[in-house]
Amino acid sequence: MNILDRIIIDKRREVILKKSIIPVSQLEASVLFDRKTISLSQNLKNSNSGIIAEHKRRSPSKAEINYSFTVEEVVKGYENAGACGISVLTDGKYFGGSLDDLLLARASVNIPLLRKEFIVDEYQILEAKAHGADLILLIAAVLTRDEIKSLSEFAKSLDLEVLLEVHNSAELEKSIMPSLDMIGVNNRNLKTFEVSLDFSKQLADKIPTDFVKVSESGISSIEAINELKPYGYKGFLIGENFMKTNNAGESAKEFISKL
């Protein structure tokens, strides 16, 4: 069993436990549930840099990345740096994140927030909305076409945007539907964790122009972004590259101004 399979098994169990404690009505009663969301896809279309900066403490492939800064310090740094949006990892077991991170990020900045999570259930989308997210991530590798359809339509009904992540043409073909806003190509193979920008290049012309194209993972240089822009990519998700430094916000600022 690969790491992704393990994460999803744990995630399904986690959702069942959470549902037994926090009812949907409690999530819907959150003060953030009625806030107007901010569009990341619009931000990306209007941006020259297209940077989506990530808050990530650790990952299965790199045990520890950074535990030395508060969420507030990191996200404010990203906002000041001119990031188009911020991705906040909320998985606890594998990435050291939590929904509290999303809440603290929302209280600190006024740019779009992505709940970066392994979503398998509508309940997690309600959680995202209740904790201040503007968009959610759906991962094609772990969902059927019907699940992608029902989850993305449910997100849209809550005024959340949807970033769908794919890794190969089979995942892309099964996923294309009007309820998505952005399609992200993960340059990291989630089963083996190897990274290559070729994944983004190979899939670029298969993504219909109605969707904002995002390249995710393994982007650590200005050159990589300049290499991908001619393929129509508008968004670039960068996590580890900023988080592994002594000051994520400063390193994002330097990167974006160079770009």
- Characterize 160-176 residue by residue with b for buried, 16 or more Cβ atoms within 10 angstroms of its Cβ, and e for exposed: bbbbbbbbeeebbeebb
Q: Which of 59, 66, 116, 175 is catalytic?
A: 116
Residue 21 neighbours by CB under 8 Å, 6+ apart: none
Q: Which of 11, 43, 49, 56 is catalytic?
A: 56
Q: Which of 41, 54, 79, 87 is catalytic?
A: 54
Contact by Cβ (8 Å): 259, 225: yes
Q: Which of 165, 187, 215, 253 is catalytic?
A: 165
How far apart are alpha carbons 137 and 152 in whole angstroms? 9
Q: 233 forms bridges with which residues in the sheet?
A: 213
Catalytic site includes residue 217:
yes
Catalytic site includes residue 116:
yes
In sequence order, what E strands does the chain have?
51-55, 85-89, 113-116, 135-139, 161-166, 182-186, 212-216, 233-238
Q: Which of 49, 186, 200, 241 is catalytic?
A: 186
Catalytic site includes residue 54:
yes
Catalytic site includes residue 173:
no
Q: Which of 79, 127, 171, 216 is catalytic?
A: 216
Phi, psi of 50 (to 5 degrees): 70, 20
Q: Which of 49, 66, 217, 241 is catalytic?
A: 217
Contact by Cβ (8 Å): 180, 152: yes
Catalytic site includes residue 216:
yes
Nearest to 125 by CA among 15, 215, 36: 15
* Catalytic sites, residue numbers: 54, 56, 116, 165, 186, 216-217
